[in-house]
Structure 1
Amino acid sequence: MFFTFLWEVEARHRHQSLLEETVGIGPAVPKVVQEARMMQLAQQAQVSVVENICRVSAYVFVSCAQPKRIVRALSRLPGVVKADALLGASEAVLVVERHNFEALQTLLTEVQSTPGVKKISVKLAA
């Protein structure tokens, strides 16, 4: 029982030290600084939640003459998460992600206007 108590005290101390080092919260930090840091962390958490909710993902099938070359070119575009050339077909497939539909449309326009792309087919991810 004594060892369990000692282990709990040590675990709490390690947890508190970790908070002080990484987050800037603890008894050694002034109360005003702690509150400001907590508000900053809360805002960051809200922004990351909003960013995850508003993402628009799609699969883009690209008909082209040279899929490997097209994949190399398209994989450099911002918003292209993954790009693969398909074997046995003159196609490539892209996984794209943008923060809204307008940005997705802009990306798809860039994909369509890439030299060597014949046509694209877009399927929105649910």
Structure 2
Amino acid sequence: MENATGQGAKSARKVVFHRVAENLYRLENTGGYYALVKRGDKQFRRSLKTKDRKLAERRLDEYRAQVGNLTISEDGSPAPLSCAALNFSPLNRKRISNSLTHTGGGTKSAGISVPIAHKTS
């Protein structure tokens, strides 16, 4: 199907980013800001959901801190979920455990059965 200009209705849009500052990019057609951060040979990109530069810079600082807290293995891949689970404090484990629906010998969350060891004193 062609529009009045003779081009197809679903023409490919060209995505153009302009570097504004270190790790901060602006999308040309929308004016929105994006973060581009590298850590451990991995590249992390995220929309900062703003068109205001000062706000984008503050959100970029927060995002850098989040990416900086990631544990990266020697081969450059993120740490497995089992390692991340060990970082939960006992209070967080209890809160997370209580938020799941208990059924039988395990819990169900999003259709995944997870066994829970119950302590008896």
TM-score (norm 2): 0.31
Larger C-alpha radius of gyration, 1 or 2?
1
Please state which structure has a larger fraction of its residues in helix: 1
More RCO (CA 8 Å, sep 6+): 1
TM-score (norm 1): 0.30
